[in-house]
Structure 1
């Protein structure tokens, strides 16, 4: 089901075709390398460790790339899958399979070697791309109707290794906040509450199994869209965990057709 309650065209954002003059992967790497080289990686790694595997930067993505993400929102809005879990979440989602067709710039950004190496420096872990059949690998999340939200949760890894989440702000014409609690799973530590309202181009990066977080409800005449990248340390998953993960993604996010899509008899992207 598509979400047309709040057309993106009504927003005061300049409209550009998402693929107009689309940069190559080499160009993306060069741009991000220059941008990330200006950030103090050792200090940010120390901050990340101190905060229990969590980092927030309010000015991360180059403005040109943020504008391309806003354009992608326009392009994929007709494909938004609305989802609702009573008492826990309401909103819309667009999976990596749809983004591959309609907004391939996002896939190129996700695969940037410069970005991955920087995230490895921050996390201290060796990161890999999520498997091609994982609809969460990169996805857009839409809050467009009053009450859209997600309750307290962890980004639980069903993989044999860890799963890291990177959030990028895309559109935030809202009062929504990302509330979080640090150190909830750190032995002998006292949980520390926090809250951010990350603007377009901002970054949130964390270990999915360690950060308890939520997004507060959307109000009238508001809209919020964020982009999520997921990286893993081991792309393997046991069959039962695969079943649980697929069912959760089908019901709570992308719909069965996106989660169980096939290409050439194998799980994959369109």
Structure 2
């Protein structure tokens, strides 16, 4: 079901000495330099009024975006392709691969400045996802005609809420994020929307509230997004863990990637 993306058209990775290949920026400083410029009380109000949803066209500092673009292109040989008829086609790179080959992404994910700012928006105390969660931070690739994902929620299998932070990395495509607000609130009419997320753009939402999809890519197009997942309670019941692992193995990262981590965890605890 899963193959690597070696036959995709791959743009050259910047060579050493180019801006994108220069030393990675400090994640905390880069986030702080941006968030202090925002009208954060207004953004918090917007997030609440849109039922836990916020879109910012320009969020990341340019040097952070450049680093993410460099990482995304460098990881093209690690992409796990998957296809679920009628629902999903595309590629993914899990946090376990990112830990090995793009540690700046992990640093950005754990940025205290970033988490603190997201806590202001959500009103929740946020925690990073457990170390064995391949979705904690992951890259998603739309590189072939028809790559897409159908309507869905980012369902939380954790005991608490799970928030998704979606960051635009590469957008050389016609793909759009279509979404519907207030779908879980019977007292408010559903509100549709659609955005094309540029590099450095941000979408932040409660995964159980936002119904959304990514529209199909066209020929010779490329879109890469990065998602961070934060939780309010990192505990997960065993039967939910099984469902989550099977979903990740089939629809995203492959059985070897998901269950190799479980096997390694068992060895470490033995």
Distance 2:103 2:265 in 1: 21
TM-score, normalised with respect to structure 2? 0.93
Q: Is the 8 A contact 2:135 2:229 kept in 1?
A: yes
How many residue pairs get matched?
Answer: 264
> Counterparts of 1:184-195 in structure 2 under 5 Å?
184-195=183-194
Cα distance, 1:189 vs. partner? 1.0
CA deviation after TM superposition for structure 1 residue 257, in Å:
1.4
Q: Counterpart of 2:99 in 1: which secondary structure?
A: helix
Compute the displacement of 1:225 (Å): 0.4
Kindly provide the CA deviation profile for residues 66-120 of structure 1, in whole angstroms up to 9, marking residues without a partner as x.
0100100121110100000000000000000000011111000000000000000
TM-score normalised by length of structure 1? 0.93
> Cα deviation per residue 1:143-166 (whole Å; 9 max; x = unaligned)?
000000000000000000000000
Partners of 2:7 and 2:40 in 1: CA distance: 41
Is residue 8 of structure 1 aligned with residue 10 of structure 2? Answer: yes
1:117 aligned residue: 116
Q: Secondary structure at the match of 1:204?
A: strand
Q: State the distance in 1 between where 2:100 and 2:52 align.
A: 33
- CA-CA distance at 1:9 after TM superposition: 1.7
Report the 3-state secondary structure (helix = DSSP H, G, I; strand = E; otherwise coil) of the residue aligned with 1:108: helix
CA contact (8 A) 1:8 1:73 kept: no
RMSD (CA atoms): 1.9
1:236-265: per-residue Cα shift (whole Å, max 9, x none)? 000000000000000000001111123884
2:163 — aligned with what?
Answer: 164
Q: Any idea what the Cα deviations from partners look like across 1:192-238, whole Å, max 9, x if unmatched?
A: 00000000000000000000000000111111000000000000000
Give 5+ residue unaligned stretches, structure 2. none
Following superposition, the deviation at residue 267 of structure 1 comes to 6.5
How far the C-alpha of 1:19 sits from its partner, in A, is 6.4
Q: Is the 8 A contact 1:18 1:103 kept in 2?
A: no
**Matched residue, 2:75:** 76
2:23 to 21, 27, 34: 21
Structure 1: runs of 5+ lacking an equivalent: none
Shift of 1:136: 0.1
